[in-house]
A and B are shown apart, each in its own frame.
Chain A
Amino acid sequence: MNISTDFYAHHNKLNRIPPMVKLSWGILTMLFSLLSPSPIIPIIVAVVMSFIIVLIAGIPSRYYLKFISVPFTFGFLTLVLMALFFGVKPSSVGFYWFRVYLDGLHTGFLAFSRIIGGFTCLAFLSLTTPVNEIFKQLEKIKMPRIIIEIALLMYRMIFIFLEEASTMYNAQETRLGYNSIRSSIKSLGLLASNLFIRSWLQGERVYQAMETRCYNGEIPTMKIHETDNKWIILVIAFEITLIIGVYFTRTIKII
């Protein structure tokens, strides 16, 4: 498992835009793409968001395609399954005992377009805004500080865990720990329990170290952001266009 999302979130060309602007852009666009009763708006959203991510934020297109490929595959599988199994109006198209259902195809395609629309918005958020900045914004909607603190500590721990887990996994694998199903379960169990114990101890140590250095529930970081106004206007204009688009395309069907 490789989390380079974090790297790109810190190194992209939209870094200086205030996180609140990016957050509201991503989430509002996602909502309108979900609200749209026609597949047109979600597809437009997917295209616009991909354009912003690759060309404006400067995320390498290869990485972006890899990031988005898993949800796209799931979306496509959903489309196929809905068309084949979830419907009542059979069409003439089919093979063997399978029949493509017209209404299944329709809901499937709508679901597919919403999945790609939603996921490109999610990708925009996660590739341009670091997780700790997103969580800091939650403070503005009255999320208790303690939860944000635990979440951010958790985020830090995930990276420590991944490193330790891969070291242990390699050590076990070179000793034939994953040779059979039986030994795999045993090895994985050993790995998980050891990981739990080790990171538990590490968690305690990290906290003690932070306490002795005047940790009071906040890790202050310096961040330079551009002035808000032009970005806010841009977001509002984009979202209004999107609402109008949702209204006018509401009856259009592609399939």
Chain B
Amino acid sequence: MEGFLPWQWCILWYAISLPVIIYGIIRIMKVADELPESKPLLAVSGAFIFILSSLKMPSVTGSCSHPTGNGLGAILFGPWITTVMAAIVLIFQALLLAHGGLTTLGANTFSMGIIGPIFAWLTYKGSIKLNLPISIAVFLAAFLGDIMTYVTTSFQLALAFPTPNLIAAASKFMLIFAYTQVPLGVAEGLLTIVVFENILKLKPDITEKLNLLIRKPTSTR
């Protein structure tokens, strides 16, 4: 929420998020150099994340619950590109729908664009390694990505308003989010399974292109 975080925290979260965003931008520049047609695809996926995460549910205390869409983004593109996408999506949400805000952009990018996707991506990769069925891997990734986003947000809020102390404040914020976010996370997990399986079933070539998107820059190194 605009204006909710004191300015010191805004600066801190910007400082933490910025290097990751810059790294993501470098990745995107490399990919776009090699495959110019990836640009519209990135744009489409970004717009898709925007639509998903605009389904805002009323929650309280200076933030709000909504599906993050970052599970899908992280599975499809890997965490770094998703970070840049999430940052752009958050700017659009602030400007178009008065969700989030510009001063809190750093903090929001950190929770929704960095921690969420990283956890989603690690969960996905880990579950695949453990030979779990792909639908369960996708569900866990989307669910955990979602939950971790809000755990991070709770800590961010608690760090800014540590009354009576950090842990107590964080658990209070988490409790408030939990009412809306756990069911929402489950719903997003299920939704992501359906989306993912449909994409695999109907347009398997998309995922091949996506694999190219992720692997190209690493193979040239």
Contact = CB atoms under 8 A, between A and B. Distances in A.
B102 A42 contact: no
Interface of B: 1-4, 6-7, 10, 25, 28-29, 32, 37, 39-48, 50-52, 54, 58, 60-62, 64, 84, 88-89, 91-92, 94-98, 101-103, 161, 163-164, 169, 172, 176, 187, 190-191, 193-199, 202-203, 206
A255 to B, nearest CB: 16
Contacts of B48: 161, 192, 195-196, 199
Contacts of B47: 154-155, 157-158, 160-161, 199
22 contacts: A5-B97, A67-B98, A71-B98, A74-B1, A75-B1, A118-B2, A122-B2, A122-B102, A126-B98, A131-B96, A147-B84, A153-B40, A154-B50, A158-B50, A160-B47, A162-B51, A185-B191, A192-B191, A193-B197, A193-B198, A204-B40, A207-B40
Interface string A92-121: 000000000001100100010011111101
A118 B2 CA distance: 5
B10 A34 contact: yes
Interface residues of A, number: 77
- Say what secondary structure dominates the interface of chain B: helix
B5 to A, nearest CB: 8
B88 A154 contact: yes
Given A6-B96, A118-B3, A189 B29 contact: no
B10 A82 contact: no
Contacts of A116: 3
A196 B196 CA distance: 10
Contacts of B62: 74, 78, 111, 115
Contacts of A197: 198-199, 202-203, 206
Given A154-B89, A192-B52, 7 more contacts: A86-B172, A125-B95, A150-B46, A151-B88, A154-B44, A193-B199, A204-B37
A153 B62 CA distance: 31
Contacts of B54: 1
B61 A78 contact: yes
